[in-house]
Amino acid sequence: MTDPPKAPEGTAADLIASGLRLFGQKGFAATSTREIAAAARTNVASIAYHFGGKEGLRRACGAEVIRRMGTALGNHGAPVPAAPQAAIAEMEATLRSMCAFVTTSPVAAPLVPFMLREVGEGGVIFELVYGAMIEPMHRRFCALWAAATGQEAESPRTRLLVFSLIGQLLYFRVGRPVVTRRMGWDTLGPAEAGTIADLLAANLHSLIERERRS
């Protein structure tokens, strides 16, 4: 269908990396083009040259988010398993890999703050990422949930339930400062991510068991 988007190279890639990091850290408006250029070890004018301007760099960062998440969590095309046990297994595996990716992967590190701000401002980037990433993944999870519990995949209840599952996971990243503070953690590394993933998996199984009975 669509070609796999190629990773940017050279100065353009450096600018995107710096933009992703700084936009997420301080916000789009709070980050000056000069600061981005300095971080990317190039001249301010490069931004206008490569992306047409600051707003163009923002779009390029959004595209990079889609690209990175797509390569990291991209098995959307595979057929949804019909057997409940297989569906449950895939859900747990997805939850665990998403947890690891979102909380500890250095590739994902700048992505979450950036996207969080974009979702908050509700601009074009959000539309892009929603259509390319969020909805497909949510749909697949709903289908897996249906296969696991025998309920209808696209019913409002199923969709909300899947959101409650994803919400648990994402909060540990969005509210990371809160969590680490309250838990007394110095860092949120692989060990802590594993503990979180175990809890999320246990919650998943509890909710599935309840829904299967009804």
Partner DNA sequence: TGATTTTGATCAATCGTTTGATTAAAATCG
Partner DNA sequence: CGATTTTAATCAAACGATTGATCAAAATCA
Q: Which residues bind DNA (CB under 7 A)?
A: 10-11, 31-35, 41-50, 53-55
Residues that bind a copy of itself (CB under 8 A): 25-30, 113, 116-117, 119-122, 126, 130, 134-135, 138, 156-157, 159-161, 163-164, 166-172, 174-175, 177-179, 181-183, 195-196, 199-200, 202-203, 206-207, 210
Task: Please choose, from the candidates 96, 50, 49, the residue with its C-alpha nearest in 3D space to the C-alpha of residue 205.
Answer: 96
* Tokens encoding 136: 């497909």
Residue closer to a copy of itself, measured from CB, 6 or 213: 213
Sign of the CA dihedral with 169 first, then 175, 176, and 179 last: negative
Helix, strand, or coil (residue 196)? helix
Question: What residue 105 binds from a copy of itself, DNA, none (CB within 5 to 8 A, per partner kind)?
Answer: none
Question: What residue 212 binds from DNA, a copy of itself, none (CB within 5 to 8 A, per partner kind)?
Answer: none
Task: Please choose, from the candidates 62, 48, 192, 79, the residue with its C-alpha nearest in 3D space to the C-alpha of residue 127.
Answer: 62
Q: Which residues contact 151 (CB under 8 A, 6 or more apart)?
A: 145, 157, 158, 211
Q: How far is the CB of 48 from DNA (least distance, A)?
A: 4
Give the amino acid at 143. Answer: A
Q: How far is the CB of 131 from DNA (least distance, A)?
A: 25
Q: Which residues contact 14 (CB under 8 A, 6 or more apart)?
A: 40, 41, 42
Question: What residue 97 binds from DNA, a copy of itself, none (CB within 5 to 8 A, per partner kind)?
Answer: none
Q: How far is the CB of 33 from DNA (least distance, A)?
A: 4
Residue closer to a copy of itself, measured from CB, 6 or 182: 182
Q: Cα 58–63–69 angle (5° rounding)?
A: 125
The residue written with tokens 């850290």 in the block is 25
Residue closer to DNA, measured from CB, 14 or 92: 14
Q: How far is the CB of 132 from a copy of itself (least distance, A)?
A: 13
